[in-house]
Structure 1
């Protein structure tokens, strides 16, 4: 009964698809549960296990992310990885190794790996995190130090004690380095222990070399880079898969993202520099050469390559590259949907190079003219429809001749307007023209 109801309510296209899927069996002989299994297997998007595992292994705890959110995130990344019986061990290892350098990671590294579980690791990390927050709150209130003047001396406004030293750990003048409460803290800029970020003297600098053009050294501490001199030297128009390659850098441009230059950002930056410095042979567009469009979709972006086939050698010569990043909703697409989006993106991007009408061979032209004139439309309407779908030399003349020879159209065609009576030319003299009429019987 359920099978009959299912088959009755299927669309015609779905029913034909189901018949093809269960062939050589007949669809009426297949059970209800088997039909559902076949349809689910066909329409359920296929996932790439290696891509999911790559996301799992490359995940790192974000700055400011709590221990609970970090544990929940790696559990979500492991859903489609098919780890099997090794799931608990891999979750524990990823939880520990994904922590950034700090007290939590140091304490977990001191534990015995043979007895440490994910639950125990979370508990130890939470305790360490809570202790750090409590310690930070306790020392957050700075004690105001009043200057001490010698007896008989009068303090002057705006004058500091010349004997007071500046602490090299925190930058304050109220104490020296040996008694500074921040001497065991780790700098957030260079990662070294013994001073705070505001007094750090190290600079993370990089050199930019693009197509043999040396740029001055610049800092990557943070800020807006839209107007920087180095960015103006870069031209990403000819880098294949640029959006996917620059995905770690694009993440830093989000409004809610916290600036952090880590290993993934540095690798993306160096990869872009290598691509810009590499030799890319770009051919000039030849209207007579055959264009070739290649597209691809990755986890973070879409890429397209427009090339043309060399008539002499048959080799494909690149003309231009194009790419764009996927937004938040597009990243949830299946791989098949991402590939389809890449095709649409490539065709729209290089529309001016790819657009044309289909050239119809001679043997099929009469058949297409017959189909165009099935509804017995007029010449103008038929030409308009044909221009958007096909083309061949002198197609307008063929359409006019085909419609002009249609017997059905000629039968209902309006008669041409009557011509006005034409008078005889005025004779120059009498009896110049004599007209005789036949005698009626």
Structure 2
């Protein structure tokens, strides 16, 4: 095992650690996170980790029965990787963790859990792809429950936390979520809200239908039963990048460019609206479908003496459905077409320099004569000594 660990690159170890905490990753997710330069090299390296090192194992994620890609029930949606027992030990050793976890319990146990975990891990991939790893931290569900002493019975997907601040807890509602499943999720959200330790929560919905059902359920709750939180976002899963940019405070610049004017942070008494314009107009955001924020908008607009001083910026027309129609009629709406885009190369792994490897090559005569002059100028003994020095510096200057 020691030999295997010494032969693994930093990228290999990062892949193992990520699989250790997040159970599984598809080839596409690994490619986007660790090999943005070359999909071909991604395939070859994963094959080596599986066949030569024996630290990961491939699992097939089947396409849902009856879907367009799988009408007969035999199609493959993606290939996923999980850790083997050997990979678990290496991941624990590289992190200095006690050897307590077993591979059979680390990997998703069936197809539905495998699919759900890959969907959840798209949030982690988005954090990396958008170059936010230095600002935001992705916390997997098991670590989250241990770190914050949360109940193991919670169906938490994980959390996104700005460095040094409280995490934004995430729940995930997959496609075909039933009314009962939605009710259970909101019961758990209410339980966490009642404890008062976490004030920012997001419910990610895989499809539009699930999102509409979740919004409908929230609206049906009596006001005294609605979770009391600083922020409760019920958001399309595809709009997660907006949530990440919101967490990292990058949306202010986007709004300034869209409105073509500088914005200032709202005064303490108006914190429900984050920014104000020079003319004193308040800016409300619907980028992350914060239903608590929507309630504040509704309450503000229906007050007597409303002065038409509120601009509502949105990215997804669906989110306007959360507002009451009489309120919509009084608002100045501004569609923001900007969509956060992933970086072309969010993470760069330098090629690790292999020492103690013999290399043979032929030097043309005219180049050799230049090297001899350079050796004399530098006071070295031989051309070979000069070449060795250049190799150690990883540059050749003649």
Larger radius of gyration: 1
The TM-score with structure 1 as length reference comes to: 0.20
The TM-score with structure 2 as length reference comes to: 0.21
Higher strand share: 2
Higher relative contact order (CA 8 A, sep 6+): 2
